[in-house]
Structure 1
Amino acid sequence: MTVLSEDLAKNRQTINAYEDYAERYDALVRHVPNQREQKWLKRLVKIAGKGGRILEVGSGPGYDADFVEGLGVKVRRTDATKRFLELQAARGKHGEFLDLITDDLGGPYDAVLALCVLIHVPREQTDQVLAKIAGSLRPGGAFLVSMRIGYGEKSGEYHTVYWRRDDFAARLESAGLVLVGDEFNVGRDREEWTTFLAVRPS
């Protein structure tokens, strides 16, 4: 996988920003996923199957993983921000350091979960990252991802990439995944998001 030095710098900048922001982010997010998020997480778990193994990239404080584990699956919690892993450890939850762009994902998994994470992947790396995720799934496995909707990208404290719904759906299909559902929603600060659920063909 070829990663440009400029993309690595964008990635490192975002990770460093989250290291400083982790406690505030932990306090900001709901400790239990809302009803809309629960609906999608339940769909993911249904595909993974009871006792299934799910890779979560960008676990953050780990509350999505808490909910998913409560549905009877096993979650490999990972994050590239060490402070998030420390916050989870303080709650007795084990997480592993994993950089989605540079590290091998392992597998095969019954599902991969990446909510509010791929928005920070530089556009030039998106196809390679999606191919890596697809390759980590077992046949019939599922991928749940949420993306910011819009145009272009923004480099500030965090590098954020925006996608049009149809363009990101096409990227999923190019990675060999089949889109089985999506939903648009407006989040905090009027941010526009779409949640996508895709599967690797059996």
Structure 2
Amino acid sequence: MTASETPKESGQANRSASNTSTLTGYEGCADEYAETTAPKPEAADQPALIELLKAVEPGSRLLEIGSGPGWDADWLEERGLAVRRTDGAESFVQFQAARGRQAERLDVIHEPLGGPYDGVVALHVLQHVEREVLPSVFAAIAAAIRDGGAFLLALREGQGETAEIGSKGNEYYVALWPRAEIIAILAALGLGLLWSHSFEGREGRWLTALFRKGASL
């Protein structure tokens, strides 16, 4: 589940939506999502991935959370990094298998992340984790990164919670976070900000940021 543009339309806030309902929605739309988010040649060198590449050593081992169709993992592996591809939706695991890629189903809320890794990538996925749960997920991510390792994150900016309605009527839970609050939570876990960029997407404002474990805060 990694892309700046997804096949979902904004709906009214609805706290009945949850991470579980979100995963159910993604189970039914892997092919549609993959087609919508397929990389375009002119946009292949994404700034966030370039910044990550600068922050890690050649051959570094990364954990990707929310790998989705695997487009970002492809880009990173083509540049010499080793990526453990994971997603919470079995449909994306199977989609990648059909492409000849190995991905694993991983519930980042309840299952251990393994590691230590040289870096963790979580682009456009953790907004689907319930607001009260995300700090503990961040703590697990920080613990899974070696000292000096990197964390690349893209998260929706804003206040509160909402639900978005997909093309097939599924609800997708979304938590919005102020930039300063996210940076403060991660700083408390020993992850210092190296680089950040905010942009307006179809669904609203996104914060993309790169952190280093043990960086001067």
**Normalization by structure 1: what TM-score?**
0.90
Task: Give how far 1:30 is off.
Answer: 2.9
Long gaps (5+) in structure 2: 1-14, 165-170
Deviates more, 1:165-174 or 1:131-140: 165-174
* Aligned counterpart for 1:129 among listed residues 113, 128, 137: 137
1:36 Cα deviation after fit: 8.8
Name 1:140's counterpart in structure 2. 148
- Counterpart of 1:193, as a letter, is W
Instruction: Tell me which residue corresponds to 2:186.
Output: 172
The AA in structure 2 aligned to 1:27 is E
Q: Which runs of 4+ in 1 moved over 3 A?
A: 32-37
AA aligned to 2:85 is R
Contact 1:32 1:63 in 2 (8 A): no
* Residues 1:19 and 2:32 are matched in the alignment: no
Q: Does residue 1:86 correspond to 2:94, yes or no?
A: yes
Bigger share in helix: 1
Aligned to 1:196: 209
Equivalent position to 1:96, from 85, 99, 104: 104
Displacement of 1:47: 2.2
- SS of the residue aligned with 1:127? helix
In structure 1, distance between residues paired with 2:41 and 2:127: 19
Indicate how the Cα distance of structure 1 residues 198 and 113 shifts in structure 2: closer, same or farther if over 3 A, else same: same
- Structure with the largest fraction of strand: 2
Q: Closer, same or farther in 2 for the Cα pair 1:90/1:36, shift >3 Å?
A: closer
- Which secondary structure does the structure 2 equivalent of 1:92 belong to? coil
Query: Which stretch shows the higher mean deviation, 51-60 or 174-183?
Result: 174-183
Corresponding residue of 2:113: 105
DSSP 3-state at the match of 1:199 = strand
- Which whole-Å CA distance do the structure 1 matches of 2:92 and 2:71 have between them? 11
Q: Percent identity?
A: 43
Is 1:185 aligned to 2:199, yes or no?
yes
TM-score, scaled relative to structure 2: 0.84
2:76 maps to 68
> Could you say which residue in structure 2 is the equivalent of 1:161?
175
